[in-house]
């Protein structure tokens, strides 16, 4: 897997309908250091193999943000479309209608959803979130090489039920993502991130289906 | 020996000792060598109190150096950049070294929190002013529920993201660079580059500053390398890109220093060897060196005391005066070939007058440079006006005592060359056969002259060096950003008017940015809005945000705050706006990144500077400056280019005038026919030099025209001398040829300078003087054999 390609979008890895989202990591996860190679050849082997033929997958997500100073966690749900080599469309439906498209070139927001002007001009590409965005992308696509550069990796479980933990190595990354846990079996079931202030973001994936047919023109335009 | 000669000898020697003492004791330890090309150019024409503030702004801007530290692994680049910046800051050669921008963001966040009821980010002001608070509400909710905003802190203090928006607009404009953690990072497909900004502690054009900076950068590079040793992956080396005035100035200094050394060494060695060969005595080159040394000391000393500094480029030019100054020595010493029983004292009677007349003509030419408003040219003029008379005086006062007669006649090789040259040129008379050659030559010259192009762009005068230019190009390409040298100056009688006028300007600039005609700008009113705008923003907040059914309570309700918390937040909103005042702002640390742009008050005028990045069309901006009140567009580059053009035209007229005056004077002295004949060499040489430039594709600038003026001053006497001394044509030919040879040699060396305008002067003079010499030799009247 090269860092440059989005081939790393491990399509099948996301597919899951069964396992409960937001499961707590077992206490021994972060005492089991590992490497990208070990993961690829070990617990993730099945999940990665499943990916090979798939090209497009879509499904629903539930998201939960827990933040200091807020009376309760912010919960939202929506749908996503992940296209290998292209990018990710993330469409929040509830409680607010908002959409963004993440590609290697950056983030674009649909003008209708945010009122902001989208476009390829870097000034208008939304807030410059830098490493957070890059890491999000690497996490969503399970780009182990990129992740291993910034994080120490940990892993436990079996090919049917595994957890991969990450802890940031440098301060700049730690401010954005201090720790991450990805959990799954045949596919990724959930991702949980903790930022520098201790705020938490958990995303669970549901009803994920693989599509083999080509993208519609409209969908393709999203990732241009 | 006549007592007058001895007296002159003693007094001149005493004077030279004083000069040497002053030079060694006062000049050498104190001399400031300047390298800023802009120093050579006229001062800005902006009048009054603003002028020195603009200079101050430009001075600080020139000190800025931008580094990009690149590596294929972003975290390696980040760590290396921190080490690099740390080392730079400790070196003492740089100040304000910035690689972490978190402090700025914190300060701006604090300022915002203290004044959040009167401050708004542009992104929120737009929908609220349009009466569409839904846009703000939707954006705030979208951000709260988006996984992208995960890293944003302080959501509970700032649920609408207004503070985050305000902060974002305070960030330094660095083109495509984005904030990652608290570093600014820009990426290409292979590498991540971390941005560092720093300022040299003194002007980057100071030779010492350059030296310290160079050492500091090398040390920082080592530190950065060491810091990332043992990191994965370390296979690729760090890439360090440097941009700013410093690398260009340092490269220019290095090459100019090199040129001063090489040109003056080659020039000196060549003329001294010539002296040795001609006079077959060690005394001759020693005497020559004495004259040159005295002239150089005098030129540098005078420049130091008149200008308080010596410009390196003026020194490069000064090195070419060797060829002019040595003429006096040659002229004096050549006199010994005239008679077998020659004595240096009687030579004085014979050569003093022509030497003094020749010098006078040269000095008039150089003196003309004083008339132009170019400090650089004035320095060159002062070097010549002080150096040449001292060299000349050394010859006339010291040589009669120090010189001895050695060679009764010319060396054989010299005789032979001279005879050949004499025959070749003397036989060139107007005949059908010469016409056959002459007509195509004339056509060649005419065609070349027609190809001449004029250039007045000041940027073309600068030397370009491969490494800094390449770095600059990479930085521009990576950041997709260029800093304009042109700025807007906003000035008015009070600070509130300045800020309001600036806001009118930035509204227009925002429009240009939206349509892609401008990259970015930096304006104080972004951090310190006018009181009027703050009141308006307070009103927008009151009406749309802090109202009982405003955006804030609606969003707070949606994310789970209870009524009590919402009421408490609404109760904090003051009924009356309390705008942030300029005094409060200046006292706050958040203003420190803006201090350079806020010029404050002087002589009752308040002013600020709006700097620009990535402008598509400067004319559009200039028009904006003319249209808006209190706003002026200052474009130094264009200003100087215009001055160059005006002066080029003026000097061209001066040149024509000089020829006219010369024609009249020569007509009175020798009659119109002879005058015409005497003027053929310089006029034709001018045409030949111009056509050579045309064929070579070298544009004609002010400096070319000046070189033509100098050529007239130095070359006109070749023809006069050959005519006057036609009874002894060989001797006259020798004197003229030696003079032309040394002049061509030393100016010819300038043709190898890296500074384009010095090169232009060199090429023009070398070709012009050469042509002038050949033409003078071939058009001089034949020796009057009958007599």
Q: What is the pTM of this model?
A: 0.71
- Contacts made by residues B124-128, CB under 8 angstroms, sequence distance 24+: B124/B160, B124/B162, B124/B165, B125/B537, B125/B540, B127/A115, B128/B540, B128/B541, B128/B544, B128/B545
The answer to whether the CB atoms of B559 and A173 lie below 8 A apart is: no
pLDDT on residue B658: 84
The answer to whether the CB atoms of A115 and B182 lie below 8 A apart is: no
pLDDT on residue B419: 87
The answer to whether the CB atoms of A115 and B73 lie below 8 A apart is: no
Q: State whether B750 and B666 are in the same domain.
A: yes
For B131-150, the pLDDT digits (tens) are 888 888 888 888 888 887 77
pLDDT on residue A35: 83
pLDDT on residue B508: 92
pLDDT for B550 beyond 50: yes
Closest residue in A to B79 (Cα) is A170
- Out of A126, A173, A201, closest to residue B150 by CB: A201
Closest residue in B to A136 (Cα) is B148
The answer to whether the CB atoms of A90 and B147 lie below 8 A apart is: yes
Taking residues B116-124, report their average pLDDT: 89
Q: State whether B757 and B678 are in the same domain.
A: yes
Chain B interface, best mutation among A121, A131, A148, A174, by max B CB count within 10 A: A131
Contacts of B235 in chain A (CB under 8 A): none
The answer to whether the CB atoms of A172 and B181 lie below 8 A apart is: yes
In a domain, B215, yes or no: no
Residue spans of the domains in chain A: they are 6-222
* More confident site: B654 or A21: B654
Taking residues A122-141, report their average pLDDT: 56
Would you say B723 and B733 are in contact if contact means Cβ atoms under 8 Å apart? no
Q: In which band, very low, low, confident or very high, does the pLDDT at A27 lie, cut at 50, 70 and 90?
A: low
In a domain, B334, yes or no: yes
E-assigned strand segments in A24-146:
33-34, 56-66, 74-83, 87-94, 98-103, 106-109
* More confident site: B427 or B158: B158
Taking residues A136-156, report their average pLDDT: 78
Closest residue in A to B516 (Cα) is A121
For B728-748, the pLDDT digits (tens) are 777 788 888 888 888 888 888
- Out of A98, A123, A173, closest to residue B146 by CB: A98
In a domain, B627, yes or no: yes
Contacts of A176 in chain B (CB under 8 A): 150-151, 181
* Termini Cα distance of chain B: 35
Closest residue in A to B166 (Cα) is A127
> Average model confidence (pLDDT) for chain A?
71
For B355-404, the pLDDT digits (tens) are 888 788 788 878 888 887 778 888 889 999 999 999 999 999 999 888 87
Q: How many domains does chain B have?
A: 3
**Cα torsion B470, B476, B478, B483: sign:** positive
Cα of A208 to nearest chain B Cα, Å: 19
The answer to whether the CB atoms of A197 and B153 lie below 8 A apart is: yes
For B687-700, the pLDDT digits (tens) are 999 999 999 888 89
CA A158/CA A136 separation, integer angstroms: 24
Q: In which band, very low, low, confident or very high, does the pLDDT at B767 lie, cut at 50, 70 and 90?
A: very high
Chain A interface, best mutation among B77, B143, B146, by max A CB count within 10 A: B146
The H or E element containing residue B634 is strand B631-634
Q: Is B84 helix (H, G, I), strand (E, B) or coil?
A: helix
User: Is the CB of residue B153 less than 8 Å away from at least one CB of chain A?
Assistant: yes
- Out of A116, A129, A171, closest to residue B139 by CB: A116
Would you say A212 and A200 are in contact if contact means Cβ atoms under 8 Å apart? no
pLDDT on residue B233: 56
For A71-103, the pLDDT digits (tens) are 889 899 999 888 876 778 889 998 888 888 877
Lowest-confidence pick of A106-110, B158-162, B180-184, B588-592: A106-110
Q: In which band, very low, low, confident or very high, does the pLDDT at A5 lie, cut at 50, 70 and 90?
A: very low
User: Is the CB of residue B564 less than 8 Å away from at least one CB of chain A?
Assistant: no
pLDDT on residue B424: 80
Q: State whether B403 and B415 are in the same domain.
A: no
The answer to whether the CB atoms of B75 and A136 lie below 8 A apart is: no
Closest residue in B to A196 (Cα) is B151
Q: What is the CA radius of gyration of chain B?
A: 35
- Out of B79, B147, B480, closest to residue A201 by CB: B147
Would you say B249 and B205 are in contact if contact means Cβ atoms under 8 Å apart? yes
pLDDT on residue A10: 29
Cα of A94 to nearest chain B Cα, Å: 9
User: pLDDT exceeding 70 applies to what percent of chain B?
Assistant: 94
The answer to whether the CB atoms of B147 and A170 lie below 8 A apart is: no
| Tokens 């109190």, residue located | B49
> Which of the listed CATH numbers 3.40.190.170, 2.20.25.650, 3.40.50.1370, 2.50.20.10 matches domain A6-222?
2.50.20.10
pLDDT for B47 beyond 80: no
Phi, psi angles (nearest 5°) of residue A67 = -130, 145
Lowest-confidence pick of A16-20, A75-79, B98-102, B489-493: A16-20
Q: In which band, very low, low, confident or very high, does the pLDDT at B773 lie, cut at 50, 70 and 90?
A: very high
The answer to whether the CB atoms of A71 and B513 lie below 8 A apart is: no
Q: What is the ipTM metric for this complex?
A: 0.78
Q: In which band, very low, low, confident or very high, does the pLDDT at B533 lie, cut at 50, 70 and 90?
A: very high
- Out of B144, B156, B480, closest to residue A69 by CB: B156
Phi, psi angles (nearest 5°) of residue B230 = 85, -5
> Which CATH number do you get for residue B499?
3.30.70
- Out of B149, B153, B180, closest to residue A131 by CB: B180
The answer to whether the CB atoms of B148 and A123 lie below 8 A apart is: no
Q: What is the largest CA-CA distance in chain B?
A: 125
Lowest-confidence pick of A2-16, A19-33, B68-82: A2-16
pLDDT for B768 beyond 80: yes
Provide the token pair at B668: 């009175």
Contacts of A117 in chain B (CB under 8 A): 514
pLDDT on residue A21: 40
Would you say B309 and B207 are in contact if contact means Cβ atoms under 8 Å apart? no
Cα of A42 to nearest chain B Cα, Å: 23
Cα of A171 to nearest chain B Cα, Å: 8
Taking residues B219-223, report their average pLDDT: 93
Closest residue in B to A77 (Cα) is B145
The answer to whether the CB atoms of A123 and B520 lie below 8 A apart is: yes
Would you say A58 and A81 are in contact if contact means Cβ atoms under 8 Å apart? yes
- What letter does residue B593 receive in the DSSP assignment? G
pLDDT for B755 beyond 90: no
Cα of B625 to nearest chain A Cα, Å: 25
pLDDT for A114 beyond 50: no
Chain B interface, best mutation among A133, A172, A175, A196, by max B CB count within 10 A: A172
Would you say B741 and B733 are in contact if contact means Cβ atoms under 8 Å apart? no
Phi, psi angles (nearest 5°) of residue B652 = -60, -40
Q: State whether B617 and B747 are in the same domain.
A: no
Cα of A57 to nearest chain B Cα, Å: 19
In a domain, B491, yes or no: yes
Contacts of B138 in chain A (CB under 8 A): 96, 98, 113-115
User: pLDDT exceeding 70 applies to what percent of chain A?
Assistant: 70
pLDDT for B479 beyond 70: yes
User: pLDDT exceeding 90 applies to what percent of chain B?
Assistant: 25
Contacts of B109 in chain A (CB under 8 A): none
Would you say B41 and B458 are in contact if contact means Cβ atoms under 8 Å apart? yes
* Boundaries of domain holding B616: 469-522+599-634
**Cα torsion B136, B142, B144, B146: sign:** negative
In a domain, B777, yes or no: yes
Taking residues B660-669, report their average pLDDT: 87
For B13-25, the pLDDT digits (tens) are 999 999 999 999 9
Q: State whether B630 and B507 are in the same domain.
A: yes
Q: State whether B303 and B398 are in the same domain.
A: yes
CA B39/CA B47 separation, integer angstroms: 18
Q: In which band, very low, low, confident or very high, does the pLDDT at B249 lie, cut at 50, 70 and 90?
A: confident
Chain B interface, best mutation among A97, A102, A130, A136, by max B CB count within 10 A: A130
CA B348/CA B184 separation, integer angstroms: 73
Interface size between A and B, measured as CB pairs under 8 A: 137
Chain A interface, best mutation among B77, B122, B142, by max A CB count within 10 A: B142
Contacts of residue B634, Cβ cutoff 8 Å, sequence gap at least 6: B44, B46, B54, B486, B487, B488, B489
Q: State whether B629 and B641 are in the same domain.
A: no
* More confident site: A10 or B415: B415
CB-count exposure of residue B356 (10 Å: 0-12, 13-18, 19+): middle
Contacts of A177 in chain B (CB under 8 A): 150-151
Cα of A139 to nearest chain B Cα, Å: 12
Contacts of B179 in chain A (CB under 8 A): 128, 130
pLDDT on residue A174: 78
* More confident site: B531 or B712: B531
Chain B interface, best mutation among A62, A70, A120, by max B CB count within 10 A: A70
In a domain, B83, yes or no: no
Taking residues B541-553, report their average pLDDT: 92
The answer to whether the CB atoms of B156 and A126 lie below 8 A apart is: no
Cα of A143 to nearest chain B Cα, Å: 15
In a domain, B23, yes or no: yes
Contacts of A113 in chain B (CB under 8 A): 138, 142
pLDDT on residue A115: 38
| Tokens 């200046």, residue located | B586
* More confident site: B628 or B234: B628
Q: In which band, very low, low, confident or very high, does the pLDDT at B232 lie, cut at 50, 70 and 90?
A: low
Cα of A86 to nearest chain B Cα, Å: 16
pLDDT on residue B406: 63
Contacts of A90 in chain B (CB under 8 A): 146-147
pLDDT on residue A221: 75
Taking residues B208-222, report their average pLDDT: 92
In a domain, B776, yes or no: yes
Domain boundary among B611, B634, B657: B634
* More confident site: B502 or B185: B502
pLDDT on residue A1: 34
pLDDT on residue B714: 78
CA B203/CA B64 separation, integer angstroms: 10
pLDDT on residue A130: 53
> Average model confidence (pLDDT) for chain B?
85
Per residue, the 3-state secondary structure of B121-136, as one string, reads CHHHHHHHHCCCHHHH
CA distances from A143 to B254, B461, B608, B692, B776 (A): 48, 52, 49, 64, 81
pLDDT for B182 beyond 50: yes
Per residue, the 3-state secondary structure of B447-489, as one string, reads HHHHCCCECCCHHHHCCCCHHHHHHHHHHHHHHCCCEEEEEEE
């Amino acid at each position: 897997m090269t860092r440059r390609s989005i081939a790393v979008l491990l399509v099948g890895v996301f597919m899951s309908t069964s396992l409960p989202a937001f499961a707590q990591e077992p206490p021994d996860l972060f005492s089991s250091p590992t490497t990208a190679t070990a993961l690829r050849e070990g617990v993730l082997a099945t999940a990665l193999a499943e990916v090979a033929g798939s090209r497009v997958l879509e499904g629903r997500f539930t998201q939960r943000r827990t933040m200091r100073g807020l009376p309760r966690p912010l919960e939202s749900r929506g749908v996503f479309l992940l296209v290998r080599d292209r990018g990710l469309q993330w469409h929040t439906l509830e409680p607010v209608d908002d959409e963004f498209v993440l590609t290697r070139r950056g983030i674009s927001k649909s003008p209708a959803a945010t009122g902001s002007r989208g476009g390829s001009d870097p000034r208008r590409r939304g807030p410059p979130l830098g490493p957070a965005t890059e890491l999000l992308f690497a996490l969503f696509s399970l780009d182990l090489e990129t992740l291993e550069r910034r994080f120490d990796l940990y892993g436990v479980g079996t090919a049917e039920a595994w957890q991969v933990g990450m802890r940031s190595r440098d301060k700049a990354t730690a401010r954005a993502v201090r720790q991450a846990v990805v959990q799954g079996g045949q596919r990724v079931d959930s991702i949980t991130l903790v930022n520098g202030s201790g705020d938490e973001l958990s995303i669970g994936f549901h009803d994920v289906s693989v599509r083999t047919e080509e993208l519609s023109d409209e969908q393709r335009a999203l990732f241009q | 020996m006549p007592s007058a000669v001895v007296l002159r000898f003693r007094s001149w020697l005493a004077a030279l000792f004083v000069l040497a003492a002053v030079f060694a004791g006062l000049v050498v330890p104190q001399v400031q060598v300047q390298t800023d090309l802009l120093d050579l150019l006229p001062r800005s024409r902006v009048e009054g109190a603003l002028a020195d503030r603009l200079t101050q702004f430009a001075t600080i801007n020139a000190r800025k150096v931008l580094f990009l530290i690149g590596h294929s692994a972003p975290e390696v680049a980040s760590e290396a950049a921190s080490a690099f910046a740390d080392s730079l800051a400790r070196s003492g050669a740089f100040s304000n070294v910035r690689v972490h921008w978190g402090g700025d963001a914190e300060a701006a966040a604090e300022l915002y929190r203290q004044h959040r009821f009167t401050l708004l980010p542009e992104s929120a002001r737009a929908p609220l002013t349009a009466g569409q608070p839904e846009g703000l509400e939707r954006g705030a909710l979208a951000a709260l529920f988006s996984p992208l905003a995960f890293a944003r802190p302080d959501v509970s203090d700032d649920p609408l993201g207004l503070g985050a928006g305000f902060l974002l607009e305070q960030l330094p404009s660095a083109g495509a660079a984005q904030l990652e953690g608290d570093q600014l990072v820009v990426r290409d497909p292979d590498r991540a580059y971390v941005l560092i900004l720093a300022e040299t502690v003194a002007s980057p054009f100071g030779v010492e500053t350059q030296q310290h900076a160079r050492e500091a950068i090398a040390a920082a590079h080592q530190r950065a390398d060491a810091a990332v040793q043992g990191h994965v992956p370390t296979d690729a080396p760090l890439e360090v890109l440097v941009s700013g005035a410093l690398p260009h100035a340092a490269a220019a200094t290095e090459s100019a220093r090199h040129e001063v050394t090489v040109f003056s060494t080659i020039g000196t060695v060549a003329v001294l060897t010539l002296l040795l060969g001609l006079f077959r005595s060690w005394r001759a080159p020693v005497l020559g060196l004495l004259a040159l040394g005295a002239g150089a000391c005098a030129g540098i000393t005078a420049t130091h005391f008149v200008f308080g500094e010596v410009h390196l480029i003026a020194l490069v030019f000064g090195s070419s005066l060797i060829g002019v100054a040595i003429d006096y020595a040659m002229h004096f010493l050549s006199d010994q070939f005239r008679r077998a029983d020659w004595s240096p004292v009687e030579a004085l009677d014979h050569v003093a007058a022509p030497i003094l007349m020749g010098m006078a003509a040269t000095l008039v030419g150089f003196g003309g440079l004083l008339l132009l408003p170019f400090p650089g040219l004035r320095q060159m003029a002062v070097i010549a006006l002080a150096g040449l008379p001292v060299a000349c005086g050394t010859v006339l006062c010291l040589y009669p005592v120090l010189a001895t007669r050695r060679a009764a006649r010319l060396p054989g090789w010299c005789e032979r060359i001279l005879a050949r040259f004499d025959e070749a040129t003397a036989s060139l008379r107007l005949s059908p056969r010469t016409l056959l050659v002459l007509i195509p030559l004339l056509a060649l010259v005419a065609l070349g002259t027609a190809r001449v192009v004029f250039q007045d762009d000041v940027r073309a005068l600068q030397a370009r060096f491969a490494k800094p230019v390449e770095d600059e190009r990479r930085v521009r390409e990576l950041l997709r950003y260029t800093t304009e040298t042109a700025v807007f100056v906003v000035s008015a009688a009070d600070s509130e008017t300045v800020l309001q006028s600036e806001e009118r300007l930035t509204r227009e600039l925002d429009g240009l940015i939206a349509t892609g005609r401008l990259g970015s700008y930096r304006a104080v009113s972004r951090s310190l809005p006018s009181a009027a705008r703050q009141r308006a923003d307070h009103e927008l907040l009151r009406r749309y945000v802090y109202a009982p059914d405003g955006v804030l309570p609606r969003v707070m309700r949606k994310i789970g705050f209870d009524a009590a918390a919402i009421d408490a937040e609404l109760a904090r909103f003051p009924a009356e706006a309390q705008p942030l005042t300029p005094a409060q702002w200046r006292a706050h640390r958040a203003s420190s990144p803006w201090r350079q742009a806020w010029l404050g008050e002087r002589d009752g005028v308040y002013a600020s500077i709006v700097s620009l990045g990535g402008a598509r069309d400067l004319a559009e901006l200039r028009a904006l400056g003319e249209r808006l009140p209190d706003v002026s567009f200052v474009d130094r580059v264009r200003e100087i280019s215009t001055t160059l053009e005006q002066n080029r035209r003026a000097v061209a007229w001066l040149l024509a005038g000089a020829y006219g005056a010369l024609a009249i004077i020569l007509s009175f002295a020798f009659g119109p026919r002879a005058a015409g004949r005497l003027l053929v060499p310089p006029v034709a040489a001018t045409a030949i030099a111009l056509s050579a430039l045309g064929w070579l594709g070298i544009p004609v600038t002010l400096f070319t025209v000046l070189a033509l003026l100098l050529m007239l001053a130095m070359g006109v006497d070749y023809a006069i001398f050959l005519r006057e001394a036609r009874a002894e044509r060989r001797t006259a030919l020798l004197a003229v040829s030696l003079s032309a040879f040394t002049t061509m040699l030393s100016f010819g060396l300038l043709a190898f300078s890296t500074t384009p305008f010095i090169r232009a002067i060199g090429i023009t003079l070398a070709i012009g003087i050469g042509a002038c010499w050949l033409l003078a030799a071939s058009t001089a009247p034949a020796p009057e054999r009958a007599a």
